[in-house]
Structure 1
Amino acid sequence: MPIVSKRHEEILTILGSEGIVRVQDLAQRLQVSVETVRRDLRPLADRGTILKMHGAVGLAHSGGEAPYERRMRENSKAKQKIARAMAATVRNGETIMIDTGTTTSFLARALAQHERLTIITNSTDIARTLAGRNDSKVLLAGGVVNGDSGAVLGHDAVAFVQRFHVDHAVISAGAIGIDGVMDFEPDEAVFAREVLSRGQRRVVISDLTKFTRSALVQVCDLSEVHQLFTEATPETSIAAYLADAEVQLCGLFA
């Protein structure tokens, strides 16, 4: 069955580039009412083109996120800037726990010249990047390996990181907003939540696109984050929420 309206094409373009999007946000983007968007979404859902979930929608084939390699290419310059800014605050010899994510993968690359770090992670990519570098030591969580991202997840991975307390706990995010730091997958959210709780310093690194997205699972409230590194100042409403939660914005670029 063909696409029946130009608005359908616009909806699919937005979902294709951004993953899961709230219905309310779609209505604002398309400058129509929420009820109109819901009517537009109904035939797409009936055909199996999209999935509707808790006030949000995503493409059926993507599960809300593009494959990992594609996500590594998306907004990569901003992610590299964020990673370099965060890495500059880590001193040689310190301990750092990092979860799986594209921005955290760039952080690993930015830490490659550091010396004598102890890195605890569930990311096979981060482990490969930093293992054996400049007398640094990598401790990799055990568990079930995700074939796309290389993340190690599950009960064993969570139990592993519960053994440690580190100087810096750093996580990425699927989305950031008034509901806090969010992720797309429950297992990833559980692991990220545990990582954040292990750090003397609790840091989220995320590019600005995450402030316009929606995700399904809460990782933590904003008040549980000490610092957020991003590439530019978020829009006023989000910046106000961050200020109210006493989250320090870092790594800003003109």
Structure 2
Amino acid sequence: MRQEKRDRQAKILDALGQAPSLRVAELASSLHVSTETIRRDLDELTEAGLLNRTYGGAVRPQGSEPGIAERKLINLQERRRIAQAATRLVGDARSLLLGSGATVEHVAREIAARLDNIMVTTHSCGVAAALASNSSIEVMLIPGLYHAAEACVFGGHAIVFLQNLYADYVILGASGVDQDGPNNALAETAAVNAAMLGRSAKSIVVADQGKFNQQFATRYASWTQIGTLVTDAPPPENLASSLNSHNVRLLVAAETG
């Protein structure tokens, strides 16, 4: 695929991450291409399973979260800012637990660039790969059943393995964050997240504003279990009130440049 088409389709997916539906004419206007080009893009993205075509546009499947391969293409600047802010919080760490997901992979890249001589334990193959650029970081992979769409492991082996670990911080992503706490679209991943929370002294959730007031299958923690939420924009009033009432630190990563 040519870079121009790749960039355009990434922008389409990014736009769909911010709105429940898209119109061909609006996309053509905003991306400065013909409606025929947009229709071909939508057909290709539908064939790849990344969206659903409708008459005159496209929608994201109701109640579903895109796989990590797609999520890596959207909200790149926002996730980078969140990752930079989260990494600054753990500069004193000697051991970390990292969950899975696109935002946590951004965190892993920042950790690899900025921290040295630490141990990181993770159930995400993408996180482990991102950390590999820094040879001073010792990476431990949690065993378990492999989930191909999320490039991570889960299951009883992972949960049992975590019971023998301890970390200074855990950094977790989320499919959604609402007034009750962070949640995940996959119950299997949520179970690993919950186990990680029990094995760390301090906890950080990283989630961009697109996750606000989104509810998915499994809530893996209440806000009483979370120390800090790092995001890219102030949350809506109901979420902000819940964070405040549960003494969760809110860190909004500022836009720079």
TM range (shorter): 0.7 to 0.9
- The Cα of 1:85 is off from its aligned counterpart by 0.6
Q: Distance in 1 between matches of 2:182 and 2:172?
A: 10
Q: Distance in 1 between matches of 2:102 and 2:64?
A: 15
TM-score normalised by length of structure 1: 0.74
Letter in 2 for 1:195: M
| Structure 2 gap segments, 5+ residues each | 1-12, 21-51, 53-59
TM-score normalised by length of structure 2: 0.73
1:151 correspondence with 2:132 = no
Equivalent residues of 1:120, 1:161 under 8 A apart: no
Question: Helix, strand or coil: the match of 2:204?
Answer: strand
Equivalent residues of 2:100, 2:124 under 8 A apart: yes
Question: Helix, strand or coil: the match of 2:247?
Answer: coil
- Percent identity reads 22
| Structure 1 gap segments, 5+ residues each | 1-12, 21-49, 51-57
Equivalent residues of 1:93, 1:116 under 8 A apart: no
Q: Distance in 1 between matches of 2:192 and 2:237?
A: 30
Question: Helix, strand or coil: the match of 1:59?
Answer: coil
Q: Name the residue aligned to 1:187.
A: 188
Q: Name the residue aligned to 2:128.
A: 127
- The Cα of 1:98 is off from its aligned counterpart by 0.6
Superposition RMSD in Å: 2.4
Q: Name the residue aligned to 2:251.
A: 250
Q: For residues 83-232 of structure 1, what are the structure 2 equivalents within 5 Å?
A: 83-91=83-91, 94-113=94-113, 114-131=115-132, 133-232=134-233
Do the aligned partners of residues 238 and 92 (structure 1) sit closer, same or farther apart at CA in structure 2, a change above 3 Å counting?
A: closer
Q: Distance in 1 between matches of 2:161 and 2:228?
A: 25
Letter in 2 for 1:245: H
Question: Helix, strand or coil: the match of 1:200?
Answer: strand
- The Cα of 1:134 is off from its aligned counterpart by 3.9
Q: Distance in 1 between matches of 2:163 and 2:81?
A: 30
Q: Distance in 2 between matches of 1:19 and 1:217?
A: 23
- The Cα of 1:92 is off from its aligned counterpart by 6.1
